[in-house]
Amino acid sequence: MGFWFFMLIMDLLIPFTMIGFGRCFLKKAPDNINSVFGYRTSMSMKNKDTWIFAHKYCGKMWYICGLILLPISFIVMIAVIGKEKDIVGNVGGILCGIQMIPLIGSIIPTEIALRKVFDQYGNRRH
């Protein structure tokens, strides 16, 4: 049961992180464009406008995906409660891999949105 509880906590970290940072980025992007914290791509770091847009867009995606992943992850882990460690570990590992898809995959739609709204120099398209 201890291993199952450990895996439950580990598999809820990504959804909670997505919800927390998503909400944070939705409300306010990091004050300064930096290479340490935040949504950092060459396009998002062009200027303050692209920086704020990217954080709001990605933040919304993370927040929504986190809210969807949280109950799904909990239900999946409830389904393997009391099972052998190998089953719990395999299901938990697969679940974590699946959770990484929207976490990392959010870069693609965010970059597409940035390129639709801004030109290559970071100026808003009219």
Domain membership flag for residue 48: yes
Q: What is the domain range of residue 59?
A: 2-117
Total number of domains in the chain: 1
Domain membership flag for residue 124: no
Q: If pLDDT is split at 50, 70 and 90, which confidence band does 126 have?
A: confident
Task: Tell me what the mean pLDDT of segment 97-118 comes to.
Answer: 96
Whole-angstrom distance, CA of residue 48 vs CA of residue 29: 10
Please name every residue paired with 124 in a beta bridge, in sequence order, or none if there are none: 118
Q: If pLDDT is split at 50, 70 and 90, which confidence band does 1 have?
A: confident
pLDDT (tens digit per residue) in 48-76: 999 999 999 999 999 999 999 999 999 99
Q: If pLDDT is split at 50, 70 and 90, which confidence band does 44 have?
A: very high
Q: Residue 84: how many CA atoms within 13 Å on its side-chain side?
A: 3
Domain membership flag for residue 39: yes
Backbone angles phi, psi at 118, to 5 degrees: -120, 150
What are the b/e assignments for 9-20, b being 16+ CB within 10 Å? eebbebbeebbe
Domain membership flag for residue 88: yes
